[in-house]
A and B are shown apart, each in its own frame.
Chain A
Amino acid sequence: MQVQSMHFKRRASEKLDDALLQSNMKKAKGKFVDGRAKAVAEFGPWEELRSHCAALRDRVIANLDAYLVEFERNATRRGAVVHWAETAEEACAIVADIATKNGVRTVTKSKSMVSEEIALNDRLEAAGIRVVETDLGEYILQLAHEPPSHIVAPAVHKSKEQVADLFQEAHDRPRNTDIPALTREAREALRDDFLNADMGISGANFIIAETGTTLTVTNEGNADMVTTVPRIHCVVTGVEKVIGTLEDFASLIRLLPRSAIGQTITNYLTLTTGTKMPGDVDGPEQMHIVLVDAGRTKLVGSDLEPMLRCIRCGACMNHCPVYQNVGGHAYGWVYPGPMGSVLTPAYVGLENAGDLPNAATFCGECAVACPVKIPLPDLMRKLREQQFDRRLRPWGERAAISMWSFAVTRPGLYAFLSRWGARVASWIGGREKLIHKLPGLDGWTKGRDMPAPAGRTFRDLYREGGR
């Protein structure tokens, strides 16, 4: 997918002015957060579970090569073909090649963020293959020709009226805005494709080294059909998704749906291991697993390594005040919210990520909500430092930070400047104690007044207090 993240500021402003989007985002607000809070409170040893799962993810990442090779060995033993792709390009070429060689005409897909990342649909369509997204949210967005705006609820930015318009055009049926009726309409529209597609493409929530298993969790049951009915099943997933054992999965599945939507388990969940066995009446004859790097291995051993633990639950964006207000599209690439502000620069380059490491209030909610304890604000702070060091921030900002750093590392100078600064600011604030316009920093005062300081610095008051 084309990166638009360098335009975050402009896009965020547009989203804030978009009345329809604002109303759609308000409807979603709270549902995820409340659901998760309730599920976590009910669970009991939640913190212990978070620590356990963070540690098990770290253990694999520390030996990622060996776990991947062990996974490959077991998957191959069970009849799957394991492919490796260094880039998005390579991954697309592998899948297109499998499809073309097997005369595939229609592909059904269950939701896969990696396939969004590598723009797989475009590539398959260019090869003359029909691709049908089957997750309801993804199906809506395929009709709208839009990327997802949330990793779990891709069409969270759409209202039922907008969905009704899209369905009316695509299904040639009378327009209706009843949500259950819209859902039924999608079910009926997709049924034939589910039953007749030549190839099913899915992502994987995890892949298990012990057994060579890939797995999908869904509430809709669509992934379970995509991985069972067509004669070819192709899994496209990131190299970091590997875990050790079925027991590791049992722990992680206690975290994932609770963190995502407050559910104890998803309604459907399939572990797929290899191809159709002798005598089986269902299941694919061919199973292909494409392990995609596309920037992931660059994170190994780096400051950003904890990001590889991510289990894609979406809790960080659900809890982020910036995401809640601007929505996912403002972030300009596949992964929005705090996890996206770290992953986008990591995968597509800091120079293409613009303001993303700054798209945060640093309230810390994301780090608290993250089920695998990724220190998201710390990682964003590290990216900010790298942006500064690599001179990727505007000249004025770099100059201001350099001056600040000069002053703050000299206590005498800092005391002098802050004493005078506080006095001047207090004087500007006047009797109202509010500053309406800050010279040179009008971005700050454009939408709100700045409260004026008391006129004396904390250090002065502290000294006077005699302690």
Chain B
Amino acid sequence: MGARENILRRIRAAQGRAGAEPTEGEIAAVRADIARRVAGPLPPFARPADRLAQFLKECDRLSTTHGQVASERGVPAEVSRYLASQGLPPQVVGWPAYAGLDWASAGITYDARPATGSDHAGLTGCFCAIAETGTALLLSSPAEPKVTALLPETHVCIVREARLVDTMEDAFALMRAEVGEPPRATFFVSGPSRTADIEQTIVIGAHGPYRVHVIVVS
């Protein structure tokens, strides 16, 4: 406990407060400050007239491709179309929630398990999506592992249009209302993995996926 005490004592001394531990009053003041959740200024495009259009515009900017289907039943056909367009095999590893869709008719083998390093395509849903930045927000849970979105070279993500929010602040509010505290991994995906570490030249596909394809279910 030596280091902790010394660090806290040093901070307090510099701010003219005695002792090595914040008082109950000081902690209460910090909690009150946290509870106010002061939001910062937003850019005009954070409150768009057409939320979906804003979301798709940002997806384009970050090299996320997208397709749209009328209902979840249309997902397998869209996945099949997308994989074929990229010259990828019709095999998908995905979250169990989507195992009940008719994958066989679309010619796809669907494995409902967490992805490993050797899987080609991972399919996930998301908790919600953020229009301001073209982002899918995934919350980890036993049936919704993060690795499926991260390890395969292709990540296909299902976004329900009804779960589209304007901003990250709105996404956090939704999380607090429906889940409470953040789970172990609160994972924001905004396009495929990239790097510019060699000569500031952008290359898509660093360590994470080479492709992110969003399927919007209206």
Contacts of B94 in A (CB 8 A): none
A182-B198, A268-B189, A283-B185 are contacts. A64–B11 as well, Cβ < 8 Å?
A: yes
Interface positions, chain A 249-279, Cβ under 8 Å from B, are 249-251, 253-254, 261, 264-279
Q: Cβ of B198 and Cβ of A183 under 8 Å apart?
A: yes
Q: Cβ of B169 and Cβ of A281 under 8 Å apart?
A: no
Q: How many of chain A's residues touch chain B, expressed as a range?
A: 35 or more
The number of inter-chain residue pairs (CB within 8 angstroms) is 276
A84-B3, A224-B208, A297-B7 are contacts. A43–B193 as well, Cβ < 8 Å?
A: no
A220-B194, A273-B183 are contacts. A268–B43 as well, Cβ < 8 Å?
A: no
A264 nearest in chain B by CB position: B133
Which one of A65, A70, A190, A248 has the highest number of Cβ atoms from chain B below 10 Å of its Cβ? A65
Cα-based distance from A280 to B139 in the complex (angstroms): 12
A342 part of interface (Cβ distance < 8 Å): no
A135 part of interface (Cβ distance < 8 Å): yes
Cα-based distance from A264 to B151 in the complex (angstroms): 24
Could you say which of B2, B26, B200, B209 contacts A221, with CB atoms under 8 Å apart? B209
A423 part of interface (Cβ distance < 8 Å): no
Binds B, one of A49-57, A199-207, A391-399: A49-57
A191 part of interface (Cβ distance < 8 Å): yes
Q: Cβ of A282 and Cβ of B11 under 8 Å apart?
A: no
Contacts of A140 in B (CB 8 A): 197-198
Cα-based distance from A159 to B198 in the complex (angstroms): 7
B: number of interface residues (CB 8 Å): 78
Q: Cβ of A210 and Cβ of B34 under 8 Å apart?
A: yes
Give the Cβ gap from A202 to chain B, nearest Cβ, in Å: 13
Could you say which of B145, B190, B198 contacts A155, with CB atoms under 8 Å apart? B198
Q: Cβ of B147 and Cβ of A268 under 8 Å apart?
A: no
Give the Cβ gap from A56 to chain B, nearest Cβ, in Å: 7
Contacts of A297 in B (CB 8 A): 7, 10-11, 14
Interface positions, chain B 1-52, Cβ under 8 Å from A, are 2-4, 6-8, 10-12, 14-17, 21-22, 26-27, 29-31, 33-34, 37-44
Q: Mark B109-121, 1 if CB is under 8 A from A, else 0.
A: 0000010110000
Q: Cβ of B185 and Cβ of A66 under 8 Å apart?
A: no
Cα-based distance from A291 to B3 in the complex (angstroms): 10
Interface positions, chain B 122-143, Cβ under 8 Å from A, are 132-133, 135, 140-142
Q: Cβ of A282 and Cβ of B114 under 8 Å apart?
A: yes
Could you say which of A220, A278, A280 contacts B140, with CB atoms under 8 Å apart? A280
Contacts of A282 in B (CB 8 A): 114, 140, 145-147, 185
B82 part of interface (Cβ distance < 8 Å): no
Give the Cβ gap from A252 to chain B, nearest Cβ, in Å: 8
Q: Cβ of A244 and Cβ of B11 under 8 Å apart?
A: no
Cα-based distance from A316 to B40 in the complex (angstroms): 23
What are some 27 contacts across the A-B interface (CB < 8 A)?
A27-B199, A63-B29, A64-B11, A67-B30, A68-B7, A85-B3, A86-B2, A153-B196, A179-B199, A186-B206, A187-B205, A219-B206, A224-B150, A224-B187, A244-B33, A244-B34, A247-B37, A261-B196, A269-B188, A270-B186, A270-B188, A273-B185, A276-B184, A279-B142, A282-B185, A283-B146, A293-B3
Binding site for B on A (CB under 8 A): 24, 27-28, 31-32, 42-45, 48-49, 52-53, 56, 59, 62-70, 78, 84-86, 90, 134-137, 140, 153-156, 158-160, 163, 179-180, 182-184, 186-187, 190-191, 194-195, 209-211, 213, 219-222, 224-225, 227-229, 239, 244-251, 253-254, 261, 264-283, 291, 293, 297-298, 300-302
A-B complex: 10 closest residue pairs judged by Cβ atoms: A221-B208, A251-B40, A279-B142, A301-B14, A220-B206, A137-B197, A271-B186, A66-B22, A84-B4, A221-B193
